[in-house]
Amino acid sequence: MTRNFYRLLAVQFCSTLADNAFLIVAIARVMELAEADWVIPLLKLSFTLFYVLLAPFTGVLSDALPKGKIMLLANFLKVCAVLLLLGAVDPMIAIGVAGLGSAIYAPAKYGLITEFLPAEKLVTANGFFEGATVCAVILGAVLGGLLVSPLMTGFVMGQPNQSHLLAGMLCLLALNGVATLLSFRIADSGARYHRHSFHPVLLCLQFSRENSLLWRDQLGGLSMLVTTLLWGVGATLQLIVLRWANESLGLSLDHAAYLQGVTAVGVIMGAVLASRLVALSGAASLLPLGILIGLLIPLMLLIDSVWSAGLLLVTVGALAGFFVVPMNALLQHRGCSLLTAGRSIAVQGFNENAGMLVMLAIYASATAGHISLQTLIGCFGAMISLGMAAIFLFKHFADKNPAQTG
């Protein structure tokens, strides 16, 4: 790994740490304002929306400018998002601005990995990257819990017309400021691409062709189908775990956030093992693990203690990390072979975040319709298992009949 890669890793860690703490603080702000329960999944939906809406443009933008400058702009937008939250703007708008920054940021950060490193190091690099990202997710969940805990809210208790979350918001502002400063250190990889028109209609048509090209590729389409399903369900399960920890285990939001971070511990373990044990060529053979993950999720319904919950969440996280990291590396490799680094990541982000939007919209509707938590957990577990089983059978058929599926 090069020095430039480790600098990128540092920015990614700091920015992801802030993003995950931001979500917990935004949820606490919604609760402080006494808004309806179904507004909470809309926060995550608002954060994700720009990933989908701007997908035809962010990849081209990422390839048109040095990616370090793109990351600098993105982290500055996240600073603006916290300022909006401090200014008593609706949490959904504030987190949407943070999502705008993240949407711009994503193709740049993943594109730089493929520009800094050769293909044979992508699985290892993704192991490092996902490991650092999940570390940031863990600490971000813990930090978010701390920022909304009585320890922080006590600083402003009793002050009129002041949110109890003020101290937490100021900490978020400082953290995003650090990520912005670190972005200045990202070097230019020197990679240059052919310039493309920024005409919106032309870009949308071009993006549609690129999306279709990656879906038609046997390995690219397979890996994108897997990651789209897992990211969609995973984003929703993040909120389900918070609700389950409150309703089934009696935990407050700050303690539920700590428990949520336990899942990420398992993802780190799985990601590290995958980076050492799984070659790029063997990524597609891991599909049965996806079925197992879906079968484990309904076990949440049988748990009534924090320790048992932690053990289950670590196990699910480890399997997910071991499964997703090679799949993500395979998708990046095929995307860069067929397209450019920035544009392939934009296509990947569009599909994965579109899956998240669909799942979050379903979850928000189910919450508004007062569907029980038990039903939701069972349905999401079944969705993963049945989806992965269908993908596995399709791959098995495709391998036996390459002429019919090519």
Tally Cβ neighbours within 10 Å of residue 163. 18
- 191 lies in some domain: no
Looking at residues 32-55, what average pLDDT do you find? 85
d(CA 271, CA 148): 30
Q: Which two tokens stand for residue 386?
A: 């049945």
- The CATH number covering residue 45 comes to 1.20.1250.20
Contact 326, 280 (CB under 8 A): yes
* Structural domains in the chain (count): 1
Q: At what angle do helices 341-368 and 55-64 cross, to 10 degrees?
A: 150
d(CA 17, CA 142): 10
- 194 lies in some domain: no
- 34 lies in some domain: yes
Is a pLDDT exceeding 60 seen at residue 157?
no
User: Predicted confidence band at 400 (pLDDT cuts at 50, 70, 90)?
Assistant: low
- The pLDDT > 70 percentage for the chain reads 84
Measuring CA to CA, which residue among 219, 209, 251, 234 is closest to residue 329? 219
Dihedral, CA atoms, 156, 160, 165, 167, nearest 10 degrees? -40
d(CA 99, CA 91): 12
d(CA 13, CA 329): 19
Is a pLDDT exceeding 60 seen at residue 91?
yes
Q: Which two tokens stand for residue 37?
A: 């329960």
- Give the domain extent around 117: 3-186+199-405
- 364 lies in some domain: yes
Q: Count Cβ neighbours within 10 Å for each residue of 60-75 and write b for 16 or more, e otherwise.
A: bbbbeebbbebbbbbb
Looking at residues 272-278, what average pLDDT do you find? 73
Is a pLDDT exceeding 50 seen at residue 37?
yes
Of 117-131, 141-155, 224-238, 287-301, the poorest mean pLDDT is in: 117-131
User: Predicted confidence band at 239 (pLDDT cuts at 50, 70, 90)?
Assistant: confident
- 192 lies in some domain: no
Q: What is the pLDDT of residue 161?
A: 60
pTM of the model as a whole? 0.75
User: Predicted confidence band at 275 (pLDDT cuts at 50, 70, 90)?
Assistant: low
Measuring CA to CA, which residue among 147, 109, 159 is closest to residue 130? 109
Alpha carbon of 397 to those of 4, 223, 365: distances in Å?
42, 16, 36
Is a pLDDT exceeding 70 seen at residue 196?
no
Q: What is the pLDDT of residue 52?
A: 85
- 75 lies in some domain: yes
d(CA 318, CA 298): 17
d(CA 406, CA 403): 6
Which pLDDT tens digit goes with each residue over 320-375? 877 777 777 777 777 777 776 666 777 887 888 888 888 888 888 888 888 888 88
Tally Cβ neighbours within 10 Å of residue 89. 14
Tally Cβ neighbours within 10 Å of residue 309. 22
DSSP state of 188: P
